[in-house]
Amino acid sequence: MTVATALGYGDLPGLLTLQTGDEKHDPSSHSTLDALWVLYDRVLNVDPESPEDPERDRFLLSKGHGPTAYYAVLAAKGFIPAEWLPQFGAFDSPLGYHPDGRLLPGVEIGSGSLGHGLPIALGVALALEHTVSAAPRVICLVGDAELEEGSNWEAVQLAGRLRTGRLTVVVIDNASSTYGWPGGVERRFELEGWSAVRVDGRDHDALERAFAAGDGTRPHAVVAEVVP
């Protein structure tokens, strides 16, 4: 489990303020914040002291847009120093408007262009069958509008057919997809052979239960609904 630091969930608004200078941090403006916190506080087996541990869980932020919540959680959990946050977006800062995995400890990939993280995550999950004796999870965060990119569905289809049980996707559903997903996006995952649950994306206990709900024999989707 993630190594605890002195900083907790209540410190995240202050860490966000360091990046933006904006003291009004309505949770709805940070749709990923609670899911990210639950992942790093309760779910992921990651350690800032050994971010390259081969047996760590892999977390891939595919929805690289608006990464301030990600950076705040990484700082709270000790992966990056909070002192980096005020330089967000600066030329000599490792913290950009889209994260770069080669510049940041504990960050698996660079993202920003939508629809890339999930295919990479499937490759990581399949490689782990051959490279690591333990059973790390691979969790990829996408947005509901990001799922408009067809490349995601290439990965969803194949992961379902291959029953890639170590792969979990969390979909942050803030209804930002222009044309929506009639009947709920989770139905698309289920049709492709995944297990899927929809939860309140601000309810930490519900999120934790949802991440634990996969049975490991097929990929699992957690649709985290947040009020736009």
Partner 1 sequence: MSTMRKRFYDVVAELLEADPCVAVVLAEIGAGELRPHPRLFNVGIREQLMIGLAGGLALEGLRPFVHSYAPFLVERPFEQVKLDLGHQDVGAALVSTGASYDSARSGRTHQAPADVALLRALPGWTIDVPGHPDEVERLVRAAAGRRDNVYIRLSEETNARAIQTDGLHVVRRGSDSAPVVVAVGPTLDETTKAVRDLDATIAYVTRVRPFDAAGLRAVARGTDVVLVEPYLAGTSAAEVGAALRDRPHRLLALGVANEELRRYGTGPEHRAAHGLDARGLRASITEFLPAPRLAA
Interface contacts to partner 1, rule CB under 8 A: 100-102, 108-110, 113, 115-116, 118-132, 150-151, 154-155, 157-158
Q: How far apart are CA 26 and CA 79, in angstroms?
A: 25
DSSP 18: H
Among 151, 157, 226, 152, CA closest to 190: 157
Rounded least distance, CB 219 to partner 1, Å? 14
Rounded least distance, CB 16 to partner 1, Å? 26
Rounded least distance, CB 126 to partner 1, Å? 6
Nearer to partner 1, 8 or 54 (CB): 54
Cβ-based neighbour number of residue 167 at 10 Å: 29
Q: How far apart are CA 171 and CA 103, in angstroms?
A: 25
Nearer to partner 1, 80 or 114 (CB): 114
Among 45, 59, 39, CA closest to 201: 39
Rounded least distance, CB 12 to partner 1, Å? 28
